Every structure is written in C-alpha cells, then in structure tokens.
Amino acid sequence: MSSLRRRIRILATSAAAVLCTSVFSVSAQGTDVDHGKLVYNTWCAGCHGADPRQSQPHLAANKPEVLQNAMDLVAQMNFLKTVLTGTDIGDVAAYIGSVATIGVPVLNPTPGSVDFSYQTVGVPSTAQTLLLTNLGSVALNITAITATPADFTVSGNCVGHRNPSSTCALSIVLNPSAAGSLAGQVAVTFSESPTPVTVPLLGAGVLSESTPLPIVVEYYNPDLDNYFITADAGEQAFVDSGAVGRWLRTGNAFRSGGTTKVCRFYGNGATNPATGRIYGPNSHFYTAGQSECDGLKSAYIVSAPSWKFESLDFSTAQLTGAACAPGTVPVYRAYNNGATRGIDSNHRITTNRTSIEQVVARGWIDEGIAMCAPQ
C-alpha cells in the first residue's frame, strides 16, 4: 500500500510540473500581443506609462520570468499574482518585446513654458517662438496643434511628418480680451502618443492708461456708525444726493480691477412679524473668497437674520499666499464685532491701514488683508 501511495505522489508531482511548464511554454510560444497590450494598459500603464518605450528600463520585462520575479519582489506589484494568469504574463512580455525594437518618438518643446507678462487689453503682443524637436529615434506625425483660451493664438507649419532630430517653429501671440491674469496652454497631438504634449502659457491683460478703472468709494454713516463701499458710479451719485440717509464720503477709495469678482451681500430685508423690523443686519458685506461667498449664500434663511446675495459688485485680485502680488496693494477688512455687542454687524474695507487701526482702537476686530487692488 505504501508503494502505491508513493507512485501516486510521484505522478501528481510530475503532472503539476508538466502543467506549469506548459503554461509558460504557451506564454512564450503562442502569445497574443494584442491581449498583452490590453493587459498592460489595464494593470501596468498607471505606474509604468502608457508606452513602455518611454521608460527604457521597463523593456527588460519582455520575458515572463522577469515579470514573475517583479511581482514577487516589488510590494506594489504583489497583488498581480492573484490577478494575472501565466498566459497574461506571457502576453504582456510579448507585447513589451514587440515594441522594444520600434524606437521611441520624443517630442520636446523649447522653452518649457511661455510667459507674456503684462499686455494691454485688445492689443496683440509681440509673437513668441516655441520650438518643437523630435529627440526620438523614429519619425512621428503631428496631427493637431491648439492654443487655449482664445486670448492665445498659435500658428506655424509643424503639423505632419517629423523626422528624428528635426525641429519646427510655432508662433504664439497673446491678445487679452479683458483685464486680469491668464493661464492657458498649447497642446500638440501626435499619432505615436496617447496624450498630447502641453506647454503652459502665462500672461495678464491690463487696461491702457486712457481707460480708467472703476473706483471703489467708501462712505460712513455717523447715525448708524456703519461703513459702506460701492464701485457703481450711478449708486455713488444716488448716495451723494442724500436720498438714502446721511452717508458721507470718508476720502478713502481704491481701484477696481482683477480676475476675481467680489460678492456683495445685504442683510435679510424681509420683515420680522414679531418686531415689525427687518431681520437684518442693516448692513452690506463684501468678500472675494469663493468659499465664503458660497457659504453665506447657502446659509441665507428668509425668516431669520442672515445675509442675502445682491450682486458681483466689482473686480479685484486674490492673495498670493499671504501677500498681494506685485502691481497690487492690500485691501484690509475690519469687523465691528456686532454679534457679540448685540448690534448690526458691519465691516470696514479700505486700503488705508491707518483707518483700520482707528476702528480697531474702538473695539473692532482686524481681519487682515481681504483682497488686493490695482495700484
């Protein structure tokens, strides 16, 4: 009986060895390159790139045993041992081997980005040159070249067949349609790559000196101890007329301009039936922060004190980190701490730092820089 058991074990071991050998034999001799490409794109491209040729060390994985060893040794690849079959591994290796001898097209842009700095609105800039060079070992075929947004335009004779080591030139022009910073890109699509080559484009539109920027004027009402600002010339004339109370110009003002719109809110104007007065607060509030703007919009309640969105009042620039960018000045904001004091909340917004310090000395809270205005 023991002799029979030994023969059964030997036969089982031999069968397993034959089966294992046959799996790798099929992988090596009867491989399916198209299936290998599919498996590679599904499980490998996320880490190793869509084209194995773009990363030469990966071409060493054109043997099933190399891939098997990698799955054993590389922690991030261990999971593949339960995902890929021996046939999958052989097909992937065959796909990598099939592209290894084709050569690598490499489209290299120079410079890596194009910065136009400041450009007058409506006036085309001087053209800047972008060179495209095929640094690869095989030819490539450029199929499309685009620039976005429409403020940037690109021209040149680069579409078509490009031999190794050949260079062509593109001409890029910025013609800003409005004041403010611009960020775009040139995208170059070529047949040999699944993704286009992109080059960042930077610039900023500025108004000419003959085009005055709107002025944000500050008012103060001594009866309410409230401050108010507006960039609307028509509203300024109405306030100056005295039709809405004793609002006096403080002498503080700053220019509107930039890519960020300032959200303007007014306290809930609906009447509280219990008191016969508006829910309030009887004040305006301004913010250049999108999250703060969205938060106040969502917190509005028609039957409770809250802020109701009025409009996008004027343009400004947001902070770059903790400071204002060159060419702009800080606009400060102070809060009268109305919620704690039991009075209507009110804010003072001005570029005049001394004015902020004056109300802080009266118990207001200094909220720092709220936005940045053109100089």
Distance CA 293, CA 307 (A): 10
Of 308, 224, 235, whose CA–CA distance to 266 is shortest? 308
d(CA 334, CA 252): 15
Q: Is 173 exposed, middle or buried (0-12, 13-18, 19+ CB in 10 A)?
A: middle
Prediction pTM value: 0.47
Rounded to the nearest 10 degrees, the angle between the axes of helix 86-100 and helix 2-29 is: 30
Pairing of strands 107-110, 128-134: antiparallel
183, two tokens: 């960020």
**Residue 212's pLDDT is what?**
66
Angstrom CA distances, 144 to 157, 170, 197, 198, stand at 11, 12, 11, 12
Q: Which helix (H) or strand (E) holds 73?
A: helix 64-73
User: Across-strand partners of 218?
Assistant: 229
The reported pLDDT for the residue numbered 62 is 67
d(CA 269, CA 344): 13
The contacts found for 231-235 with CB under 8 angstroms, 24 or more apart, are 231/256, 231/313, 231/314, 232/313
- Bridge partners of 146, per DSSP, are 187
In single-letter form, the type of residue at position 277 comes to: R
Of 343, 247, 305, the residue nearest 362 (C-alpha): 343
- Paired with 199 in beta bridges are 186
Residue 325 to residues 116, 177, 328: CA-CA distances in angstroms?
17, 21, 6
What is the pLDDT tens value at each position of the chain, 375 positions in all?
434 333 333 333 333 333 333 333 333 446 788 898 898 888 887 777 777 766 555 555 667 887 888 788 778 788 888 888 989 888 888 888 777 666 667 788 988 888 888 888 889 999 999 999 888 778 889 999 999 999 999 999 999 999 988 999 999 999 998 877 778 899 999 988 888 999 998 888 877 765 567 889 999 999 999 999 999 888 998 999 998 999 999 999 998 988 889 999 999 999 999 999 999 999 999 999 899 999 999 999 999 999 999 998 899 988 887 889 888 999 999 999 998 999 999 999 999 999 999 999 999 999 999 999 988
Output the pLDDT for position 68: 83
| CA pair distance 290, 312, nearest whole angstrom | 11
Alpha-carbon gap, residue 164 to 65, rounded angstroms: 34
Q: Which residue has the tokens 């109305």?
A: 338
The size of the chain, in residues, is 375
Q: Classify strands 260-271 and 278-287 as parallel, antiparallel or unpaired.
A: antiparallel
| pLDDT tens for each residue of 222-261 | 999 999 999 988 899 899 999 899 999 999 999 898 888 9
The structure tokens listed for 264 are 């303007």
The predicted pLDDT at position 220 comes to: 95
| 8 A C-beta contact, residue 262 and residue 290 | no
| pLDDT score, position 211 | 59
151 token code pair: 């403020």
State the Cα–Cα distance between residues 93 and 229, nearest whole angstrom: 69
Tokens of 87: 């046939």
3-state helix, strand, coil in the chain (%, to 5): 30, 40, 30
Please state, in angstroms and as integers, the Cα–Cα distance from residue 20 to each residue in 15, 29, 306, 332, following that order: 9, 14, 73, 74
- The SS3 assignment for 154 reads strand
